[in-house]
Amino acid sequence: MSEHSSNTEQKVEPKNDFIRNIIREDIKAQKYNQIVTRFPPEPNGYLHLGHVKSICLNFGVAEEFDGICHLRYDDTNPTAEKQDYIDNIKKDLHWLGFEWAGEALHASSYFDQLHAWAVQLIEQGEAYVDLQTPEQIKDHRGSYKEAGKPSPQRDASVADNLQLFADMKNAKYAEGKAVLRAKIDMSDANMNMRDPIIYRVMHQEHHQTGDKWCIYPMYDFAHPLSDAIENITHSLCTLEFEDHRPFYDWIVNKIGFEQPPHQYEFSRLNVDHTLTSKRKLKQLVDEGIVDGWDDPRMPTVAGMRRRGYTPAGLRDFCNRVGIAKSDGVVDMRLLEFSIRQSLDDTTARGMAVLKPLKVTITNFAEAVSSWESQKADSVNARWDDQSKTLWLTQPNHPNVADMGEREIPFTETLYIDQGDYEIEPPAGYKRLSPEKTEIRLRNTYILAVSEHITDENGQVIELKATIDPTTLGNNPEGRKVKGVIHWVSASQGVPATVRLYQSLFSVEDPGSVSDVHGALNPNSLTELNAVVEPSLVNADAGTRFQFEREGYFISDALEHSNEKPVFNQIVSLRDSYKPA
């Protein structure tokens, strides 16, 4: 079963929220024949975690109420838009498990109609061409305490404005020399209603329309009219667009629609230590601070996909966060909780030693020579005399038999994790030390350390140990060993690069920092030279595992190979966070 199909089948019952309650009331009142929503990204960057909430809401309510949801690119700024962004938005939506109605739409497809409506506004005396400089327009806009000043061109005749607008369209003005503004109220308390700019000159080729246009509509003009063209019933936006709603309503009213769309605002998704500004995320990419938009530390959908997050986990997270009318900050650990929950029953197990410490079993040959007579019924093993390896068959998942089995090599020399032996252990330490010499090697024998070897700096570099041949897979009567550790064969294990991640930012609200460089976490990425069991290496790139006692990992989608295995940490194995 594909990742996409498995996630679409695992539907979560929707929660009640004010938007869904509005839709229920509209359906009850038979206000619309069909509920129509849209997801309208600007193709000027990759989608990020904040978009996932909007995606889940727009596509979710359409599905819940037997409606449809459009994908529409609000592509009104060709200087910032790329085909790469367009393609990845589609890829992200499919990966998250959503399908839009019909073909993907573009605001640029409506440019002819939007231009005609701009002319209509001029003819109605509700738009004019302003020849002031951008600085003058900004200065004359006023402030929250002071009314704006009207443009010298505000009261020009309809005929003059039609000609000036035609001149703009016919490339007679350079960029910044002329704009078309809506004529509303320069003293309005809402700054967005002080004659907002609705068209500007841009001598820039568009990725969809080529060189047909040298004037382009502003987002606030194109967005509501695109909604109206597509018969959107509920235009769902985040709270930063609340102050833009009066102009949204003004423009659809002035153009005239029998059943205009209506905008509803909900809280945006703010997660601590996470940046959701495409402009600042692009800065990280452009400056090489991260390794592209899909760097696993990035909160982009592409980055989270490469990190190993699951669509089911992201959807569960958004469902837990819910929809509200006021902004707040969500604990990152809730996201990790949802991801972890989605992985537990779907991820095969494996053993990897991230910081290897050599262990030599001094009685290995003697101990395993009689393994057939000593092994427990629960142990399935075979001895290979040529390689002197005891191959142990273990399930890929302790509770999911359908995941099959794999063989793990047990040899005379092993690696355990450096943290599993301490010369001076801290209080409560339950692993190996000079005082506590016995421990269970997972799925095999009880091991007893007889000697540790240190280097010139006093660091332990090797352990000498023995195994009890009577304890393969069982605890004989009277033998109770507290503690189990994982291990990997030193001769059959495979060197691998393992990447551990922390938050990319060390401050709780990186969006509030003017210079992102000062907010970066220097420990956001740690690369380790690990050793993994052979079965992990043969998996395809993009396969998730639980490294026993370590956490959840994924073989890197771009760099992993059998010759050079690379694994990215998804989330830790457990966390103290308890969601409400």
According to the model, what pLDDT value does residue 15 have?
64
Is the per-residue pLDDT at 379 higher than 90? no
According to the model, what pLDDT value does residue 13 have?
55
According to the model, what pLDDT value does residue 5 have?
40
Q: Is 252 left (phi over 0), alpha (psi -120 to 50) or beta?
A: alpha
Q: pLDDT, tens digit, for every residue of 430-439?
A: 899 999 999 9
According to the model, what pLDDT value does residue 432 have?
95
Q: pLDDT, tens digit, for every residue of 294-351?
A: 999 999 999 999 999 999 999 999 999 999 999 899 999 999 999 999 999 999 999 9
According to the model, what pLDDT value does residue 11 have?
47
Average pLDDT value over all residues in the chain: 93
- The dihedral over CA atoms of 25, 31, 32, 37, expressed in degrees to the nearest 10, equals -50
Phi, psi for 451 (deg, rounded to 5): -160, 145
Average pLDDT of the segment spanning 106-119: 98
Average pLDDT of the segment spanning 234-250: 97
Q: pLDDT, tens digit, for every residue of 272-297?
A: 999 999 999 999 999 999 999 999 99
Beta-bridge partner residues of 362: none
According to the model, what pLDDT value does residue 7 have?
41
According to the model, what pLDDT value does residue 428 have?
86
Q: pLDDT, tens digit, for every residue of 71-84?
A: 999 999 999 999 99
Highest mean pLDDT range out of 511-515, 518-522, 567-571? 567-571
Closest CA to 41 of 101, 97, 98, 81: 81
DSSP 112-179: HHHHHHHHHHHHTT-EEEE-S-HHHHHHTT--SSS-----TTTT--HHHHHHHHHHHHTT-S-TTS-E
Classify residue 276 as exposed, middle or buried by CB count within 10 Å of its CB (0-12, 13-18, 19+): buried
Is the per-residue pLDDT at 469 higher than 80? yes
d(Cα 554, Cα 54) in Å, to the nearest integer? Answer: 27
Strand, coil or helix: 218: coil
3-state secondary structure 433-484: CCCCCEEEECCCCEEEEEEEEECCCCCEEEEEEEECHHHCCCCCCCCCCCCE
d(Cα 492, Cα 553) in Å, to the nearest integer? Answer: 21
Closest CA to 92 of 298, 346, 348, 335: 298
In terms of pLDDT, which residue wins out, 369 or 467?
Answer: 467
Longest dimension (CA), the chain: 103
d(Cα 85, Cα 71) in Å, to the nearest integer? Answer: 14
User: Which two tokens mark 331?
Assistant: 């604990």
Is the per-residue pLDDT at 3 higher than 60? no
Q: pLDDT, tens digit, for every residue of 531-553?
A: 999 999 888 999 999 999 999 99
CB atoms within 10 A of CB 104: 14
With beta carbons less than 8 A apart as the criterion, state whether 26 and 233 touch.
yes
Average pLDDT of the segment spanning 243-264: 96
According to the model, what pLDDT value does residue 577 have?
64
In terms of pLDDT, which residue wins out, 377 or 286?
Answer: 286
In terms of pLDDT, which residue wins out, 354 or 472?
Answer: 354
Q: Give me the active site residues, please.
A: 42, 268, 278
CB atoms within 10 A of CB 479: 13
Q: pLDDT, tens digit, for every residue of 156-209?
A: 999 999 999 999 999 999 999 999 999 999 999 999 999 999 999 999 999 999
Beta-bridge partner residues of 441: 485
